[in-house]
Amino acid sequence: MVCLALKTFFNTDYRGIVQILDDCPNLCKVFELKTIPHFTTLQKASKRLLKSPQASKFIENTVKAVMDKRKTVKLSALDSTGLQSGHISFYFLRRRYKGKKQPLNSKMTRWPKMAIISDTSNHMILAVHMERGPGRDARHFKKILQKLPEDIVVKSMVADAGYDSEANHQYARQAKNIRTIIPPKIGKPTDKLPKGKYRRKMKLRWDSKSYGQRWQVETVFSMIKRNLTDSLSSKEYWSQLREMFLLVITHNLLIVLFLF
């Protein structure tokens, strides 16, 4: 697992991290790595170690390392982002077809999509959900809440209007006991109050101070893309999911190692 996290940190592939470890004996000594594994060993280990329950456990352990004895997260933030899958930049596409009609296959129609719940006080990622975009954010709301660590209590959660849904409010508040702060803007613009109990409550008692912290989750995405990568090297669906899991785990480890 250490080798896989280092692979993500150095933004290289399985062969690349093996070569880095071979060139850095002091690095191997720090991690008490007596034998450098073959790159195929790392590839097979990633399939075994990064299955969803196991990878979620790694994320949970990094969160607990920061929280120590604290079991409560006062305010969390939820959002999603898309990642590139390939090496052709959108800047190249804009320049290539400037002033011309772009062909249908000039842009990605499906891309890796990652949704996260982060602690606004320290930028630790509490839970992650991966899928293929595009798609409505509200659809994965319940799925990602179900992945929150069971022994950690989340008091409040902010999210943008893409997650606005009376059903989502009901699930968060009644099933998870989490106070949601989501702008009630879904549907046609109107001056009338929303019909749903919780969406009406959002309209009447809007907590602008708490919602102002939603930008913290955007900072987490920026940290991942600047410090690690915004492009996945994997092409297959399950390989991309494992690569996104590694991004989250490595991000949390960096916070544990350098900020706490």
Q: What is the pTM of this model?
A: 0.89
Helix axis angle, 2-9 to 39-49, nearest 10°:
100
For residues 8 and 247, give the distance between their C-alpha atoms in angstroms, rounded to a whole number. 7
CA nearest to 217, candidates 85, 100, 119, 111: 119
* Domains of the chain, first to last: 1-49 (no CATH), 50-259 (3.30.420.10)
Between CA 148 and CA 125 the distance in angstroms is 10
Task: Provide the residue-wise pLDDT of the chain in tens; the chain has 260 residues.
Answer: 999 999 999 999 999 999 999 999 999 999 999 999 999 999 999 999 998 888 999 999 999 999 888 889 999 999 999 998 866 666 666 676 676 666 545 455 678 999 999 999 999 999 999 999 888 999 999 999 999 998 899 999 999 999 999 999 999 999 999 999 999 988 777 888 888 899 999 999 999 999 999 999 999 999 999 999 999 988 899 999 999 999 999 999 999 998 77
- 166 in Cβ contact with 201 (< 8 Å): no
Q: Which of 240, 259, 256 is nearest to 114 (CA)?
A: 240
